[in-house]
Amino acid sequence: MSASEMLQVKVWRGKADGGLVAYEVPRQASQTVLDVVTYIQRQLEPTLAYRFACRVGMCGSCAMTVNGRARWTCRTHVAKVVDDQGRLEIAPLANLPVVRDLATDMSEFFDKWARAKGQFVGKATRHDDFARVAPASPERAAANAGIECIGCAVCYASCDVVSWRPDYLGPAALNRAWTLANDVRDVQQTERLRAVAGDAGCHSCHTQGSCTERCPKQLEPTISIAGLKRKVARAAVRGEL
Ligand code: SF4
Ligand code: SF4
Ligand code: FES
């Protein structure tokens, strides 16, 4: 195989104090970055640690840093991201502890969803009729706009504020809080607004929008966070927080 038919791939090995290791991988038509990582693990380096499940952009587990930018690797074609010399650099997501190689520890990312009251709490019982929420209502539209989050942490890894202050709840947890803040069936609205109103909450967002620019599901956490800021401000004026 000629050099032009090979990709020059550097992959992060080890923990946070590890380093990049070089591999050569044959180019294939329609190859994804996850295909490249899988080739390395199956053919060249069986101890390589990485994470994936669905391979079709649904589970959110395959995100990595590819040529300096967080991406979902199962839906990222090599042709779109490789440089002119056929080079790829693949590292774990930023802003999260490295377990090993390309696998990050997602615990604090999801702990922040819990801290932002990202769980639905209703009051209906199995004996009640289904809730009816008008499809055209502004609340339902706002909730629907953010609901397709797959928890991939691409936004979280792309957020400067998370880098600067690790206690910041981050775009995904706040986006989740916004979908629930618009869920008319949910009964912990004041508690949720309190949870996102603190120093590490929505007011820490500088609104520059890396999260929105990079979200592979085209969600807009920046808009969600702006909505939370408005709701928090209104609740504070009413003396509810
Ligand atoms: S807009 Fe806010 S949440 Fe999004 S990347 Fe910037 S600081 Fe982070
Ligand atoms: S908001 Fe987008 S980038 Fe962030 S976790 Fe959800 S799907 Fe991933
Ligand atoms: S493997 Fe599930 S989103 Fe990529």
pLDDT at 225: 98
Report the C-alpha dihedral over residues 120, 125, 128, 133, rounded to 10 degrees. Answer: 0
Q: Is the dihedral of CA 30, 31, 33, 38 positive or negative?
A: positive
Radius of gyration of the chain (CA): 20
- The residue whose CA is least distant from atom 4 of ligand 2 is 155
pLDDT at 77: 98
Other beta carbons within 10 Å of 120: 12
- Is 165 a pocket residue for ligand 1 (Cβ < 6 Å)? no
Task: List all residues whose CB is within 6 A of at least one atom of ligand 2.
Answer: 149-155, 171-172, 175, 215, 217, 219, 221
> Cα of 94 to ligand 2 centre, how many Å?
14
- Is 55 a pocket residue for ligand 3 (Cβ < 6 Å)? yes
Ligand 3 atom closest to the Cα of residue 57 is: 3
> Cα of 193 to ligand 1 centre, how many Å?
18
pLDDT digits 0-9 by tens, 78-118: 999 999 999 999 999 999 999 999 999 999 999 999 999 99
> Cα of 221 to ligand 2 centre, how many Å?
8
Whole-structure pTM value: 0.96
Ligand 3 atom closest to the Cα of residue 60 is: 3
Mutate which of 59, 64, 93, 155 for ligand 2? The one with the most ligand atoms within 8 Å of its CB, which is 155
68/236 Cα distance (integer angstroms) = 40
pLDDT at 60: 98
Q: What are the φ and ψ backbone dihedral angles of 69, each rounded to 5 degrees? A: -135, 135
What does the H/E/C string look like for the chain?
Answer: CCHHHEEEEEEEECCCCCEEEEEEEECCCCCEHHHHHHHHHHHHCCCCCCCCCCCCCCCCCCEEEECCEEEECCCCEHHHHCCCCCEEEEECCCCCCEEECCEECCHHHHHHHHHCCCCCCCCCCCCCCCCCCCCCCHHHHHHHHHCCCCCCCHHHHCCHHHHHCCCCCCHHHHHHHHHHHCCCCCCCHHHHHHHHHCCCCHHHCCCCCHHHHHCCCCCCHHHHHHHHHHHHHHHHHCCCC
pLDDT digits 0-9 by tens, 151-179: 999 999 999 999 999 999 999 999 999 99
Ligand 1 atom closest to the Cα of residue 206 is: 7
Which one of the ligands is nearest to 149 CA?
A: 2
Whether 81 contacts 66, CB under 8 Å: yes
Ligand 2 atom closest to the Cα of residue 72 is: 8
124/185 Cα distance (integer angstroms) = 8
pLDDT at 234: 97
> Cα of 154 to ligand 1 centre, how many Å?
12
Which one of the ligands is nearest to 154 CA?
A: 2
Mean pLDDT by 10 residues, the chain (241 residues): 83 97 97 98 98 98 98 98 95 98 98 98 95 94 97 98 97 98 97 96 96 98 98 96 90
pLDDT at 3: 58
Q: Which residue has the tokens 């009251």?
A: 117
219/74 Cα distance (integer angstroms) = 18
